[in-house]
Amino acid sequence: MGSPGWYCIFLFFFLLSSHSARHGVNAAPASQERQQEYDKIKSLPGQPPVSFAQYSGYITVDKKHGRALFYWLTEAAIDPTAKPLVLWLNGGPGCSSIAFGASAEVGPFRIKKNGSALYLNKYSWNREANILFLESPAGVGFSYTNTSSDLAGFGDERTASDSLTFLLGWLTRFPRYKHRDFYIAGESYAGHYIPQLAKKVHDYNKVTKSNLINLKGFLVGNPVMDSNYDNIGTVNYWWSHALISDATYKSILKFCNFSRPADRTEKCNDIIEHAATHDFGNINPYSIYTPSCPTSSKSRLSGILLKNTLIGSPTYGYDPCSENYAVQYYNRLDVQRAMHANTSGIPYKWTTCSEVLTQWKDSQVSMLPTYRELIKAGLRIWVFSGDADSVVPVTATRFSLSHLGLPVKIPWYPWYSDGQVGGWTEVYQGLTFATVRGAGHQVPTFQAKRAFSLFKSFLAGRTLAGVGMAEGGRP
């Protein structure tokens, strides 16, 4: 999810009726300059005063079908013209980057109980960059399509293509960001979205011989990477962290062939269902050592299976019910008006994870070939893992990364934040891996300061601080 509070793996079977697109498709202002001014947010309901500019609205990615993607830009708090642009994507597939990335992870605001107002996130990533949040694909959050059949046709390929079309359209509307240093960040199933979009951008730049989208690299947390290796690593995490019994562990190994996901047996599915609903108990699988929200149901744990994969703190200030506050806040009409959202009359409520996408058409079985291509292209690539996540756990990511066979440049060492071990890291030829100690699936939610330290080091292109090193220094 990327990410999400709860990983959106079961996609609900609702059809989206067609609706007219008043904004972004049929009635956009005449000029991009006027459209940009239209998108500017004066102030959000219950928002504390801020010094940075915000914009939100729609970019059409398919006029014929009426597909439009919703974005929210929070410009850098200091010197935005000199700061890079970072696109944030949550996963799911089907989960909202507004709900999670913007409102519970790296955005400038957090939502108060009952969706009543906002308060500041002191570790917002817009302290270091201009952050662009995108709800993708259409059918997620405020993003929509006028063609209901689209909702059964989304998959990795269309999502990546629409995201590239969005970027090109968005840069036309905001030309000051053309040629700006550009990075992509996110988590979970964005472990597919991010490398796939990075490849689309890289290929576009090769064909056009342009750095209009000046892609420098990407940063992805607890990513879905490889169906086989992720699943093996996940099951080992469950057993080694005492989440499942010896009997369940042995049964999974006996009856589940992760190397052939299309041939998964009903017996295997039954065992996984048992592990999720019986062995786990009523915990938050995205952060196994923190409390669950009392309103969360046990049945949500059964969503750990996601098609081909097994996907589907005590920490300061963590509220396990924050997802509920997002639902309350973003369904307020005054909030939607302030954000220029839902201007076309979407016939369903805003949800943190989509309830209208009916299936996921294509999912790349392994992202490792794409990683190899992008490493060869010279992009800066960092992968990080919160070590308290059981959905896409650190063992899954390490096992998948090991099959890239990358030479080690800087061997494993602990990195520090505020004099405490923030996690562990190893630097490979072409890729940096880091863990974040005490963090769950959405790392910045559970360990905001450690995640911010990691982000600053990534942007600076510096290794994480070890013993005797300044933060962001070199060993």
246 is catalytic: no
Q: Tokens 């892609």 correspond to what residue? A: 215
CB-based burial of residue 441 (10 Å sphere; 0-12 exposed, 13-18 middle, 19+ buried)? buried
- Enumerate the β-bridge partners of residue 86: 131, 183
Cα–Cα dist 437/420, whole Å: 10
Bridge-based pairing of strands 67-74 and 130-135 is antiparallel
Bridge-based pairing of strands 85-89 and 67-74 is unpaired
116 is catalytic: no
Cα–Cα dist 10/30, whole Å: 41
CB-based burial of residue 452 (10 Å sphere; 0-12 exposed, 13-18 middle, 19+ buried)? buried
209: left (phi over 0), alpha (psi -120 to 50) or beta: left
Pair 399, 229: CB distance under 8 Å: yes
**Containing H/E element for 423?**
strand 420-428
188 is catalytic: yes
372-391: b or e for each residue (b if 16 or more CB lie within 10 Å)? eebbebebbbbbbbbbbbbb
In order, the DSSP letters of 131-195 are EEEEE-STTSTT-B-S-GGGGGT--HHHHHHHHHHHHHHHHHH-GGGTTSEEEEEEETTHHHHHH
- Enumerate the β-bridge partners of residue 408: 428
Which residues are CB-neighbours of 319 under 8 A, at least 6 positions away? 113, 325
- Which one of 296, 441, 453, 457 is the catalytic residue? 441
Cα–Cα dist 391/306, whole Å: 10
- Enumerate the β-bridge partners of residue 144: 68
- Which one of 163, 188, 251, 417 is the catalytic residue? 188
Cα–Cα dist 115/335, whole Å: 10
- Which one of 62, 150, 226, 389 is the catalytic residue? 389
Cα–Cα dist 178/172, whole Å: 8
In order, the DSSP letters of 358-395 are -------SBSHHHHHHHHHTT-EEEEEEETT-SSS-HH
Nearest 5°: the CA angle 108, 113, 114 is 115
Nearest 5°: the CA angle 420, 84, 71 is 100
Which sequence positions are flagged as catalytic? 188, 389, 441
